[in-house]
Amino acid sequence: MHFNPKERWASTEEGRKKLVECLMTNSFEMDAGIGNHNPEVLPRRYLPPGTYSDLYRLYQAECFAKDQPTASASTFFRTLRISGWRKKIKFRGQSTHAQCWVCHKLKSAIRNSRDINMHAQSCDQYMRHLSGIFADRQVYGQTKWRAKTQKDILCCIVDSMDKSKFRLPRFAAGRTPKTLETKKRPELEFTTCIMHGHSINVFVTDSEQSTGSDWSLEVLALSVAVYLNDERKEVLIEMADYLEANYTNYARGIEYLRKLAGQIAMRRIPPKRIEFLLLNMAGIQRGAVILGNPEIHTIHTMRAMDQIFEWSSVKKHVEIQQPIENIPATSMKGFHLDLWKLSFYENAKYGETGRFPATHSLKAHFGSFLENGFESHRECLEVKFRLSKEETEQSIYKVNDFSVGYVDGQNKAIIMLSIMALLIDLGVKEDEMMEDKALSKAVASFRYVKCLANRTAEKTKPSALDMLLVFKESIRIKQSSTATKKGALRDLLFASVADYNKTVNNHRAWRVGDSTRKLIYNLLRSPKGLLDALKACYNESKPEHAGKLLSNVMEQWKLGKGLDPEFEFKKLGFVQEACGKQQEEHVVNAQSTVNNARKNSLAAAFNLFATNLTNDQCLQDKFLAMAEMTNSRARSVLIHGVEAEGEGSSFAAKNEPWLQSTLTAFGQGIRRQECERVIAWVNYACCGVVPAKKIQFTVEQVTQVLHSFPKNAAAIILLPNRAGDLRSSPKLLDDAADDEHGQVKKQEEGLTITGSEAEGEGDEDPAAHTSADAILRDFRYRLQCAFMEPSRDLKVRPLSIFFEPSTVYGTREGYHSALMITSQDRHNHFLKSQVYKSGYKWACATACHSPSDAAFCTSVVSQKAYSLARSGTLKLPGFPCFETMVADLKKNAHDVPVPTFEVCVPVPNGLAVKQNLVDYWGGIESYQLEVGELVKKHNAKYNPHGIKRGAAEISRSEADGAADDCKKIRLQTTMKLAEHEPTIQDKLCLTCGTCRLIYDVKEDALWIAGTENKKRDVFEVQAPLELFGFGSGDYVEGPEAADVQSDVSGRWISFKVGESSELCVLEADKRLPQHIRSLDIFGKVLSYKDAIKDLENAGEINVKISMHTIEKTEGSNDFCFKAQKKVCFVLDQPKESKKKKANSSATTFGSKIVLTKLRTCQNLKICWRLRLQPDQAGTGKDLVPIRPVAMLTQGLEGKMDEMYQLF
């Protein structure tokens, strides 16, 4: 039987029935069989401070006590983890039990002792205190055992449960909301009295009743009364045995006695009816003479039984009572006696210390109210009866007059309830009370006061809705008893409120004020529908029937096992035999009901699962359709263009440069070739020696270009002469200024010429200058002759090209000699003197002589142009503006609502069913086939790759253990730094940030310590951290790498990447674009997965690792790498120098370390430094290995004065 504390089962009728049925179902089982013990459905519970090792030792002690074999510690902890109990059983960090005040005081005195004498005295007192507590517990244990075995004494223990356990409503988070902190929530008082060896009695009352000493005494008294009633059962059994052994004529009476004893044991007969049944069975008329009235037979009087029954077995249990005058107040024995054992004499002094009250000072308690069906008001009350001198002892039951004494500040409502309960218990009917002059006023006032003050026993002030019924009933009584007109509702309410305020005079805070009276007056005139709705909302959380419910549960519980687990049924064999078949049928019916309910609930749950799966599939289809519609609209917008927020900008024109050029052409007119200029630029200054084949190639290509564009084309050939310095050649400047033959001065900012010819002039031999000039003139003459052949129809003119300062040659002005070649067409634009104007657009092209030159030039030019265009430095026609495009797309973007799935999880290009649901339904035999068909049909359409999501997670204990292993470094040895480091003779040291590495070459041991810092006592190393390299070496691959790797102890490191989570360090190649080199991924330790993801975000979607292929991991979005061939890095042998150095560089520190030991170290791992560079095809990027490095994979925190051994 298990109830979720979040469910409101105790406040609904259905929940209460469920509780009773579960209790009845499990009442015939052992303690271990009651309830659902599956850890998955049980709440978490906390044990006192301790460890799981304490549980194992407790388990060993239990096995040794029962002489059973004991499992090993590993088996015990593995079972504890797998079974799920470790998640439910936790240990508190500190104890929540209350601490003994005496222990606290003595411990404080021991801690704060000023001298040895005071310390010894406090210790002696503390040990004596502990000895006394142990002695008390010994006495309790001995009396409890004696009460269970010998049964000659009665030992009981009373304790109450925390009221918050029954407080409604319950909050799942365990914290009360702020709006309800000041409100009083309904709760119960739950107290249990264990009568060792006899019974367990449970008592329940409302929280509004005070639970002081009177409540404890009352619980004790009722428990003792139950014990005495069971003693009567034993008496009846002894009587039956005695009659059966001596008198054979009493067979019917013997059977009745046994049946009566069984009914008493099964709690089916109220205690006050036992004597009446015995009197009817005996049939003796002497009781009528003594009692005088047949209706008085229900009175509790053992004197009558003593006069009727004269059997010795009964008489020995009946004590002839004398006047009880002197019972010590410290003894509770007198309080346990029934009413018939009290004194019948008047001379008992009431109220005197150490005296027990006489019969005319009678106490009425909560038990009598609850037993007679009254409301649960439990406060103590003393009722005094005045007796005249002429009346006898029996006249006390005629109740002629009475007076009331208040106890604990009682009010009139409790008094009237007590009086009526007492009179009804004495058998006085209501009609007889009305006929009596003394009681008629009491009954009338009882009816009126009850309707006025029936809520004054509560501890909180009632609301206006609570008081509505009170004043409504009081108004009705006033209208029936007075001659007031029925229409004067306001006057009647004023009179009732005045009477109520007089009644609750002791509780001034509860007096009804003007505002409350007006609210009650409005409620009295409200329609019935509104009042019913208000009552339903107000009474929703009030536990009005909780006390009766638990009381009924107790009575049902008694029918089965009884209140005491050690209760023996041997003496009640006839009861078991009579009820056995009925109980068996009840158990079978209950079990079949539970099985049917379980099957129905499973079927309903599976139908819900199938329905939710269908709904998720529909949501997925709807979502995909909406996404496709949105994408189609977006594509239409990009192609045709739309106006966004009053702007006429076209997305297509920004996204597709060629489309923009087309639109521009249509906007400004059709493109005209006569308006364009074509210049073929040939730079011989950078080519060094110019062979004849290159000259012939240049002549053919230039001729073809000039004849293709005869009117608007020209070729400029930069001759391979050394650059002249205009500062030393003023004559040349003057000649260039006076040139009238069309020499062109080209001034284009940003023109760059590279090569050794761009360097400054050196000091050379004049003869060499003369020889060079002759060679240059000869080269120039032959080139002019080749172009001026008549068949080519070309015109050649000399040209000098000047460069602005700080563009090509630093701060000096440089120039080069060149040739300008045009066609003979007289309409050629380059025949004019002015051919260049600012604002013109220039397009450049490069001719290459080999595929390798073409690939290199394409990569360099494209990367440079792309970087400049993206940063905005270079303005290219048609190049998209990324910032403007993203801003415009955001303005027109529409978010597609992502659906919320019930039993599925969205995956890339599909929808996967939660694996925990599949495993759960697959584990039920009756639903395996249906679940398999559903999942198979679903995966065929929505999850073709079979991706799994939502599988059972690793237990928290294992996850915590794994996390601890990753966070904590495993160290073998710890030494004092100042003591151990000087003893290392041959050592290498390396400083890495906040730590130092010390390698003992002789012992092959690596130590780590903190750098010297006087301000701190500890050092901390964060992981991952790149520590050192392994020096120089060579790469080998293929069969040679296989031969090298065959030597396990060799000095080699394999370049092989497996999982994407492995670590690496990236370097940037100089040929990469600026926006790639500016990423923050270079020079840092990160995983391959993060590195590739960051590069993809930067626009590099084609990134590969050298000699590796990328493979997707099945069932997840992760990927792994597979090596195409074996590659390893062979370390060079370390150079031995005569002068040994203690300090080493980070790149060569690992060259002397033994790699076999380094590979076995759990804290260090060999990773790689890689360079990101363009691939040979120019379509992507490659990660090429540079050198291996050692990394610290687990962090460390240690003391400054200690050194820790890594291996």
- From CA 1073, how far away is CA 389, in angstroms rounded? 123
Task: Label residue 946 left, alpha or beta by phi (over 0 means left) and psi (-120 to 50 means alpha).
Answer: left
pTM of the predicted model, to two decimals?
Answer: 0.34
Tell me how far apart the alpha carbons of residues 297 and 275 are, in angstroms, rounded to a whole number.
8
Instruction: Say which residues have a Cβ less than 8 Å from residue 828's Cβ, sequence separation at least 6.
Output: 710, 711, 712, 713, 714, 822
Q: Give the span between the Cα atoms of 452 and 474, in whole angstroms.
A: 6
Contacts of 34 (CB under 8 A, 6+ apart): 1, 26
Task: Find all residues with CB under 8 Å of 594, minimum gap 6, and list them.
Answer: 25
φ, ψ dihedrals at 358, nearest 5°: -80, 180
Write out the two tokens for 169.
Answer: 């409503």
The answer to whether 308 and 282 are in contact (CB under 8 A) is: yes
Provide φ and ψ at 822, rounded to 5°.
-135, 170
The rounded distance, in Å, linking the Cα atoms of 649 and 655 is 11
- Residue 1188: is the preceding peptide bond cis (ω within 30°)? no
- The rounded distance, in Å, linking the Cα atoms of 203 and 553 is 12
Along the chain (1207 residues), what's the average pLDDT of each consecutive run of 10 residues? 52 70 58 64 86 91 90 92 90 82 91 90 92 89 87 87 76 72 79 87 77 78 77 64 58 58 50 44 33 30 33 37 33 28 34 35 33 34 40 36 35 49 62 65 56 45 70 75 61 81 65 80 75 60 36 39 41 46 64 75 82 85 80 64 43 47 43 67 73 81 82 80 46 42 35 33 50 77 84 82 59 71 74 53 63 72 75 69 66 66 80 85 84 87 80 46 43 60 75 79 78 71 82 82 76 83 86 81 85 79 82 66 84 68 72 76 83 79 87 78 75
Q: Cα separation of 1127 and 1045, whole Å?
A: 10
**Residue position matching structure tokens 């096992």:** 561
Q: What is the pairing mode between strands 156-160 and 1033-1037?
A: unpaired
Coil, strand or helix: which one is 678? strand
Instruction: Quote the pLDDT of residue 108.
Output: 92
Structure-block tokens of residue 1164: 């260090």
The helix (run of H) or strand (run of E) holding residue 856 is: helix 851-871
- State the Cα angle at 1102 between 1096 and 1105, rounded to 5°: 100
What pLDDT shows up at residue 109?
93
Buried b (16+ CB within 10 A) or exposed e, 1134-1168: eeeeeeeeeebebebbbbebebeebeebebbbbbb
- Stated as kind and residue range, the H or E segment containing 449 is helix 437-453
Half-sphere exposure of 966 (CA within 13 A, CB side): 7
| Alpha helices for 898-1047 (secondary structure H) | 915-922, 928-942, 956-967, 977-980, 1039-1045
Supply 238's token pair. 């002894």
pLDDT of residue 897: 67
Contact (CB, 8 A) for 580 and 214: no
| Residue 543: per-residue pLDDT | 36
Residue 406 neighbours by CB under 8 Å, 6+ apart: 381
CA distance 633 to 639: 10
Residues 6+ apart with CB under 8 A from 820: 714, 715, 716, 742, 744, 796, 797, 798, 799, 830
Long-range contacts of 736-739 (CB under 8 A, 24+ apart): 736/800, 736/802, 739/800
Beta bridge partners of 1173: 1182
Query: Which of these, 878, 1188, 829, lies nearest to 1035 by C-alpha position?
Result: 1188
Alpha-carbon gap, residue 309 to 301, rounded angstroms: 13
User: Which pLDDT does position 539 carry in this prediction?
Assistant: 53
Strands (E), 1069-1117: 1085-1087, 1103-1105, 1108-1112
| Residues contacting residue 987 through CB under 8 Å, at least 6 positions apart | 981, 998, 999, 1000, 1001, 1142
Residue linked to tokens 């053992």:
302
Q: What is the pLDDT of residue 1010?
A: 77
Radius of gyration of the chain (CA): 53
What confidence score (pLDDT) does residue 1200 get?
A: 75
Angle at CA of residue 511, ends 509 and 515, nearest 5°? 105
Q: Name the residue among 398, 422, 417, 433 with its Cα closest to residue 296.
A: 398
Q: Which H or E run contains 662?
A: helix 657-668
Task: Spell out the residues 6+ positions from residue 1206 whose beta carbon is closer than 8 angstroms to its own.
Answer: 971, 1006, 1007, 1008, 1161, 1163, 1164
Q: Is the dihedral of CA 160, 164, 165, 169 positive or negative?
A: positive
The answer to whether 59 and 76 have CB atoms below 8 angstroms apart is: yes
Residue 216, H or E segment: helix 213-246
3-class SS of residue 797: strand
Of 996, 991, 1025, the closest CA to residue 1203 belongs to 996
What is the three-state SS of 535-579?
HHHHHHHCCCCHHHHHHHHHHHHHHCCCCCCCCCCHHHHHHHHHH
Enumerate the domain spans of the chain. Answer: 598-640+892-967, 678-839, 969-1205
DSSP string, 386-418: ---TT--SGGGGG----EEE-SSS--HHHHHHH
CA separation (Å) from 750 to 71, 250, 753? 85, 135, 10
Token look-up 């087309």 returns 662
265-270 contacts at long range (C-beta below 8 A, 24 or more positions apart): 265/230, 265/233, 265/572, 265/575, 266/558, 266/559, 266/575, 267/555, 267/558, 267/559, 270/371
- Within 10 angstroms of residue 169's Cβ, the number of other Cβ atoms is 13
Q: Coil, helix or strand for 799?
A: strand
How far apart, in Å, are the Cα atoms of 488 and each of 482, 527, 807?
12, 18, 111
C-alpha 268: how far from its chain's center?
A: 51
The two structure tokens encoding residue 764 = 């050379």
CB hemisphere CA count around 79 (13 angstroms): 9
Contact 691, 720 (CB under 8 A): no
In this structure, the number of other CB atoms found within 10 A of the CB of residue 1189 comes to 23
The rounded distance, in Å, linking the Cα atoms of 989 and 1006 is: 10
